[in-house]
Structures are given as structure tokens and as C-alpha cells.
Chain A
Amino acid sequence: MVVRQYNEELEYLEKKSPYKWEIKKGFQPNMRVEGVFYVNKFLEKLMLEELQNACRPGMIGGFLPGVKQIANVAALPGIVHKSIGLPDVHSGYGFAIGNMAAFDMDDPQSIVSPGGVGFDINCGVRLLRTNLFEKDVQPIKEQLAQSMFDHIPVGVGSKGIIPMNANDLEEALEMGMDWSLREGYAWAEDKEHCEENGRMLNADSSKVSMRARKRGLPQLGTLGAGNHYAEIQVVDEVYDKWAAKKMGIENVGQVCIMIHSGSRGFGHQVATDALLEMEKAMKRDQIEVNDRQLACARIKSNEGQNYLKAMSAAANFAWVNRSSMTFLARQAFAKQFKLTPDDLDMHVIYDVSHNIAKMEQHYIDGKPKHLLVHRKGSTRAFPPYHPLIPVDYQLTGQPVLIGGTMGTCSYVLTGTEQGMNETFGSTCHGAGRALSRAKSRRNIDYNDVLEKLQQQGISIRVASPKLVMEEAPESYKNVTDVVNTCHEAGISKKTVKLRPIAVIKG
């Protein structure tokens, strides 16, 4: 890392518009392209503070600030256009979280990096609608929250309740949501409203280690812990009535269910295995990077190909996982209302992946290019008429689901043409942390958080009391600032705001 004074560092950063900053070449060594990040004036402060803290002399322990990480990604071989930081960007492992970058598939030097995907491969958000309104749910809200909590296994050490053996797992890894559909856990319509139809075709389970399988098998159909959650939400505000109607959202007060989870221990192990493999490949192929955490391999190399195939298997695992929990949520609702999930119109509005690498076609300087697009803590947001989005959303653009944190709002956005041009059709993924977990545990009081939630009329079921502090809204950036920045910058468009009435967490 280049060590400079804070004011010298600032010379490499330029505010291009009220919502956009540029990181110039030279901020970090060997930058092949420029960096860019999207922030408003509140988020900008957090971003620069992180940099300023890192510039203090004598930092022990410590970590690279998000801006530096964006710049380090700009130095990776094969990167095109820009290394992009979305408004929720913060320091992560190798890549910042909320960082996206695309690499030219036709350039033999281009790389794939597990750090650009994250440990939780295909972590994502799914939104279900219902035909219920807040007044229908209010009288039995507590029972409903408890029922969801009883149905969905959550937290450290929980095990899935959907019967699975090693053979089932193998099939699920290859088939993704087609497996869920065949086994009766998903509806045929669910697939249509899912990126890639819930199945990565290049998945190859033979590239997955036995360790990953062993960690994955008991955890299929579990929510996990950390920032993952299942929430019952109500529509709080509709910004775009027409687009909302296309998603089956009719009015304020309508009840929806949001599920935020990923590929569990399976994906974590796939990422771990690949990182260790790539360490060796980097030495062999003499790939120079600014930060050891940016372990990567050439896309065309064995290690690169193996990772992409195993990552796709993990992506399939995540879709099956979210589908299994969708099944359980539907059951929980059906039992409470004594109606079938079908009668309750519990359709999947959409399912997004915000930790993934995908092969996509984009235009660069007017020419079509095959790119490997890494989105880490970033959501795909394709514009209207894009061939990869389902027919229901052809006119509105792809629905983008932005999950809030415990007790805060969530949003549905849609993709825009401007986003396609500026950020390869990518936008933010959530609030993004502002406080460290350790600091949250120290400074935030358990009872205060619960009381505040109660005042807001939010029922809560959490497996771990400590998580209540770690995940308190104060620990995160304001999701509204994040979403508004995306909207104002034009990289996606606000459609609906959702407010939680019950939260189920690890």
C-alpha cells in the first residue's frame, strides 16, 4: 500500500457530480483503469472517514479502506471500463463490499477472483407477495412471526428440515431450482422470476470438494446468521405505480415476505478451497496484484475454470436454499390463515443474487464484448427490453431488491439504461455496515434495540441475543441514503418502499 498523508490522498479523488467521485490512476500502483464510486454527501463522509482513519500513523491490526480496495481492483489484469463502488461500499476481503468489476473474456490475461464474489456465493434476496393487507395480518402478527420462526431453521448450528441425502445434494447442485421444482418445493412460476431461471448451466459438482459437501448437506434449507433474515413486510410507499402493478403490488399496506440468505457453509467452503488453490496458481502464472487478498487466476486456466464451475454449483445450492425457505414460509402462512399458498397468491416477485460472477455481454465503446462481471455486494439491474429479464418485466426493467437491516425499510428498484452504460447494469445491494460488530456489541444496548423495535410495531424473533446489537440499525449506513443515491445517480429507479412488521433472524 502506498503510504501518504490524507490530504495528499485526496488529490487523487475528484468529485465529478453530487453523486459520483472518480479515483485517478496513481492512487494505488499499476491501476489499469480509473475507479469510481457513487455516494451522496452523507455517505461521502463515511467513505472519507474510513480513508482518513487508515492514514493515521502507527495503525496496528487495521484494514484497507474501501477506496483503496476499489483502486486495487482497478489494477487487476483484464479489467475494462472502471472499478466501480456502489453507494453501500465498505471495506471487505480483497474487493470492497459493494464493488463491481468486469473482465474481458477474450483477453487471455483476464482473471477471475473468488474475492470478487465473496465467501457467501450467490447470497441474495427474494421477495414474495401475498394478497393480504396489513389489517389482515395485524391481529395474528405475533403468531405468524412465531410460526415463521418455527418453520425456518435459523442461526449457528441449525440444521435443515427438508430431507436430503448425499445423492439429493448432488442433483440439487447440478439442477438448481429445477431440483426444487421436481421435488415439489417450488412452483414453476418461481423459476421465471429468478436470475438465470434459478440454475447456472455450467455448474459441475465434480469440482466441489468433499469438505464443501459435508458442510453443505446439513445446512440446506437454513437461513444462517449474520445479516441474513426473513421478514414480513408491508408496502409503505409506491413511487412507480405502473411498475409496481407489473410486480403484483397493488397498493400501500399489501403484505410481502422478504428472504435474505445465501449458499451457507457450502459456498463458504467452495470459496475457501478456491482461494488456497489460486495462491499457488498466482505464483505459477506470475500474476502481480497489489493485495495478497486479491487471490485470482486466469479465466482460461484450470484453477479459473474449476472455480467458475464450483461457484456455479454453489449458486445452485443458494437458489435451492432460498426455494426451500420459500416453501417453508408458504407453509407457515397457509397454516395461520388456513388457506393454500395459492389462494394467498404467494408468488415470487423476483430473486436477485448480490454475490456472484457471471458471463455477460456488454457494449464497450459501441462494440459488443464478452465480459466476466464480478458483483460483490452489488445487484444486477438490467434495463427494460434486456433479453435476460423475464417477459413480465420486459417493459419495466428488472426488479432490484434492496434489503434493509433489522427494523429498517427495504426497497424495490428497477434497472435503467443509464445503469447499463455506467455500471454494467449493476446497483447497490443493501445498507452496508458503518460500525464494526465489536463496537456495536460494546456501544449498543440490547434492551434499547428491542424497545425501539417494539415502539415501531415490529415483532422480532432472534436466535442470538448478541446479534441484536450487531445488527441494530445504528450499525449500518442509512439504506434510504444508499437507495436515493442510486436513484439520483440514475443507475436504478425507485419503485416501492417496504417496511418490516416482523423480523426472523439467526
Chain B
Amino acid sequence: MGDIKEEDWNLPECKYEYLDHTADIQIHAWGSTLSEAFEQCANAMFHYMTEVEYIEMKESYEIEVEGHDMMTLLYNFLDELLFIFSAEPNYIARKVQIEEFDTTAFKIKAKGFGEEFQLGKHPQGTEVKAITFSNMQIHENEGKCEVFVILDI
């Protein structure tokens, strides 16, 4: 875990929504770059698990993931974040920032800004069981990128 610098305090604008899905929850996230849409998608997942206002940005946490195409990269990115929440260090992030986004080798280096999840401090939202490939969509257009991901609840 690392320290938080002053410039890290800026919070991104909310660019995601939860769409209707019978059993689960579908995240629709967007941004001007693919990297931003991925970040927003990660934020959307964390914000479903608790109330975002209660997450203090105390320390940062770095992750590195890779995939063999864009979809597996997005999948592994979210899966890794779900994993650091579900197991040690039980880390929940207020925002996730992608530091390096390699679209040819399909690698991401990202940093979370948040703290350890604590009962009593963080209201309990809904538990995410898993990320799914179900109807996963990644749309890359000049100026507007969108992703759709269904989370198993």
C-alpha cells in the first residue's frame, strides 16, 4: 500500500449507471477514452458494495493484470479488484485510476485509492459474486467509449 498525494484527492465525475437485468446487475460505464470507461466500470462495482461517501482515501493499492484480448483484460481487471476486496487486504476503493494501459499486449497497471473495508464504518451494500462475460460489450469510438458488464449478484 502507498501514500496518497494531494493531487489524488480529486474525484472523477460519475460516468456509469446500473441497467436492468433480471437476476444480476448490469453496469454501463463510459468515458472519453477506453481507459476512463474501464476506471468508471471499476468505480461502479465498488460503489455497489457500499455507500461511496463512506470510503476514505487513506492509502493507495496497486494492481497489475493482463488478458489475451480486450474482454479478458476487462474481466481480469475487475476480477482482481473483486479479489482484493474479498480476500486480504479487503481493500475497497473510492476511485480507481489506470496508470498504464497497454492495448496491444493487453496489460493494465492501476491504482486504487481507498482503505480496508470495515464493518461499522462502511454500510453494507450488495455482494458481488463474480464478474461475467455475459453480453459483455466494449465499444470504442473517437471521443466516446462505452463498456457493458454484467455482475453476478
Residues of chain A having any CB pair with chain B under 8 Å: 50, 61-64, 90-94, 97, 119-120, 155-158, 211, 214-215, 217-219, 224-226, 265, 268-269, 271-272, 275-276, 292-293, 433-439, 441, 463-467, 470, 506
Task: Give the Cβ gap from B25 to chain A, nearest Cβ, in Å.
Answer: 5
CA distance A91 to B150 in the complex (A): 12
Chain B residues positioned under 8 Å from A467 (CB to CB): 126
Contact A215:B86 (CB < 8 A) given known A90-B23, A225-B124, A436-B22: yes
| B1 CB within 8 Å of chain A | no
Q: Is there contact, CB below 8 Å, between B135 and A63?
A: yes
Q: Is there contact, CB below 8 Å, between B19 and A438?
A: yes
Q: Top 7 A-B pairs ranked by shortest CB distance?
A: A225-B127, A436-B20, A214-B87, A155-B124, A463-B124, A464-B124, A438-B18
Chain A residues positioned under 8 Å from B132 (CB to CB): 93, 293
Task: Give the Cβ gap from B20 to chain A, nearest Cβ, in Å.
Answer: 4
Chain B residues positioned under 8 Å from A434 (CB to CB): 22
Contact A156:B22 (CB < 8 A) given known A63-B135, A293-B133, A506-B124: no
CA distance A63 to B122 in the complex (A): 32
| B7 CB within 8 Å of chain A | no
Q: Is there contact, CB below 8 Å, between B125 and A156?
A: yes
Contact A120:B22 (CB < 8 A) given known A93-B134, A465-B123: no
Q: Is there contact, CB below 8 Å, between B23 and A61?
A: no
CA distance A215 to B129 in the complex (A): 11
Q: Is there contact, CB below 8 Å, between B153 and A226?
A: yes
Q: A437: which of B21, B79, B83, B148 is its contact (CB, 8 Å)?
A: B21
Contact A436:B87 (CB < 8 A) given known A226-B127, A465-B123: no
Residues of chain B having any CB pair with chain A under 8 Å: 18-26, 28, 49-50, 72, 79, 83, 85-88, 90, 117-119, 122-127, 129-135, 137, 148, 150, 152-153
CA distance A91 to B124 in the complex (A): 26
Contact A61:B19 (CB < 8 A) given known A157-B119, A437-B153: yes
Q: Is there contact, CB below 8 Å, between B50 and A156?
A: yes
Task: Give 30 A-B contacts (CB < 8 Å), ordered by A residue.
Answer: A61-B28, A61-B135, A62-B135, A63-B22, A63-B134, A63-B135, A91-B21, A91-B23, A92-B23, A93-B134, A93-B152, A94-B134, A156-B50, A156-B117, A156-B124, A156-B127, A157-B117, A157-B119, A211-B87, A272-B79, A275-B133, A438-B18, A438-B19, A438-B21, A439-B20, A464-B124, A464-B126, A466-B126, A470-B126, A506-B124
Q: Is there contact, CB below 8 Å, between A268 and B129?
A: yes
Residue of chain B at shortest CB distance from A272: B130
Q: Is there contact, CB below 8 Å, between A215 and B135?
A: no
Task: Give the Cβ gap from B138 to chain A, nearest Cβ, in Å.
Answer: 13
CA distance A275 to B137 in the complex (A): 18
Q: Is there contact, CB below 8 Å, between B129 and A91?
A: no
CA distance A119 to B117 in the complex (A): 23
Task: Give the Cβ gap from B104 to chain A, nearest Cβ, in Å.
Answer: 21
CA distance A437 to B126 in the complex (A): 10
Q: A215: which of B26, B87, B117, B126 is its contact (CB, 8 Å)?
A: B87
Contact A63:B86 (CB < 8 A) given known A157-B124, A464-B126, A470-B126: no
Chain A residues positioned under 8 Å from B119 (CB to CB): 155, 157-158
Task: Give the Cβ gap from A442 to chain B, nearest Cβ, in Å.
Answer: 9
CA distance A93 to B26 in the complex (A): 12
CA distance A269 to B117 in the complex (A): 20
CA distance A63 to B21 in the complex (A): 8
Please name 18 further chain A to chain B contacts, defined as beta carbons within 8 Å, in addition to the given A215-B86, A225-B127, A438-B18, sorted by A numbering.
A63-B26, A92-B23, A93-B24, A155-B127, A156-B126, A157-B85, A211-B87, A215-B83, A219-B86, A225-B124, A226-B127, A271-B130, A276-B72, A293-B132, A433-B23, A434-B22, A436-B21, A506-B124
CA distance A214 to B124 in the complex (A): 21
Task: Give the Cβ gap from A474 to chain B, nearest Cβ, in Å.
Answer: 14
Residue of chain A at shortest CB distance from B71: A292
Task: Give the Cβ gap from A460 to chain B, nearest Cβ, in Å.
Answer: 15
Residue of chain A at shortest CB distance from B127: A225
Chain A residues positioned under 8 Å from B129 (CB to CB): 119-120, 226, 265, 268
CA distance A268 to B127 in the complex (A): 12
Chain B residues positioned under 8 Å from A436 (CB to CB): 20-22, 25
Residue of chain A at shortest CB distance from B146: A60
Q: Is there contact, CB below 8 Å, between A433 and B22?
A: yes
CA distance A93 to B134 in the complex (A): 6
CA distance A62 to B28 in the complex (A): 11
Contact A272:B126 (CB < 8 A) given known A90-B22, A436-B20: no
CA distance A190 to B107 in the complex (A): 49
Chain B residues positioned under 8 Å from A219 (CB to CB): 86
